[in-house]
Amino acid sequence: GLEGRGYSFYFLPVILVCSNAFRTFLQKHCPVVAERYCPTPWCWGGRLQTLVQAFIKSRPSVSYRNELIRTADGGQISLDWVDNGASAAYPESSTRPTVLILPGLTGNSQQPYVLHAISQATRRGYRCVVFNNRGFGGEELLTPLTFCAANTSDLERVVLHVKELFPQAPLLGAGVSLGGMLLLNYLARKGSESGLVAGITLSVAWNTVESTASLEQPINWLLFNRHLTVNLCQAVNRHRKMLEKVVDIDYVMKARSIHEFDERYTSVLFGYKSCLDYYYDASPDYKLPRTAVPILCLNAADDPFSPKHAFPLALAKHLPNVALLVTAHGGHIGFLEGIFPRGEGYMDRLIGQYIEAVFEHPGDLKRACSIKQE
């Protein structure tokens, strides 16, 4: 596998796969990429990291301003803003750099990882806006449509809205898990017309078929798949009146895995011939060459949601604008470190340093990511 190509995840605590120019930029302005990531000693394995982070991480205090925007199909999207009006670094609202955060599957603006990302951004003087997936931001569903990793039209609507409000403010996208897949699919679709200056993804599932297979392993099914499926079914049930017009809700409610849920709900709702067709369309791995802005992608080699053999390392190596940062440990959105890993962790530091690098050194970044690699 990948070890044969010179990548050994278990002997190297962190590997950074990218062009030399992008590597130089990151090592200079985002020094966490050159750090040794040491997981919490009592929380070593990927499954444990994944489970523990949800319960142990602190929840920085964030107060949001909610905005509902309408979509072309008559639906609505819930945005949660942190304006950061007291920003000393960027007192002028019109040019204050903005971080657009895309949470994971069943996630919203209240997840600890979102609150930590906001804490990192606001202390540096930036504005944040969280794009809650349709039906998951506490808002009412006005049309029989929710969201999926392959459908980027809502994200397109949100980016246009933010750019209309603040045309002078640079905008960076930060996507976690499914939010990262959505961000990558959007960046691949839009190329140089994305409206974003850069992106960062955390714990993305690169190949949906491989991720689903990993989550169907008995222990992963028991620990993660079953629970996520229940959450998805509950969300669909909450909007039953609206969604029963287009899908068989009772059949969906009997789904026992994410794959069954996608087969009965997601692929049907979004008009795919089969679940496999949807999974191909949702996978960001093969689309990376179509992206045009600098993207940093963090994954752990022991992530139960995203198996390491599906990481597009060989592809990233030859792209000037993509950097893959792979840690041996960390699980899915875990990356816990220290004996009491409640506060700021490796992933949070990476987000903070990277967004600062992007916003404060745009010239260096442009030069680093536009040099054609041999």
Closest CA to 106 of 291, 252, 234: 234
Tokens of 75: 């639906």
Catalytic residue among 119, 303, 306, 348: 303
Catalytic residue among 29, 116, 259, 332: 332
Q: Is residue 177 flagged as an active site residue?
A: yes
Query: Cβ distance 157 to 69 under 8 Å?
Result: yes
Q: Is residue 116 flagged as an active site residue?
A: no
Query: For residue 158, which amino acid is it?
Result: V
67-75: which pairs have CB atoms within 8 A and are 24 or more residues apart?
A: 68/139, 69/157, 69/158, 69/161, 71/143, 71/153, 71/154, 71/157, 72/153, 72/157, 73/143, 73/145, 74/142, 74/143, 75/134, 75/141, 75/142, 75/143, 75/145
* Angle of the 346-360 helix axis to the 112-122 helix axis, nearest 10: 40
**Within a 10 A sphere around the Cβ of 90, how many other Cβ atoms?**
18
Measured distance CA(100)–CA(119) in Å, rounded: 13
Catalytic residue among 109, 177, 194, 211: 177
Q: Is residue 332 flagged as an active site residue?
A: yes
Active site residues: 177, 303, 332
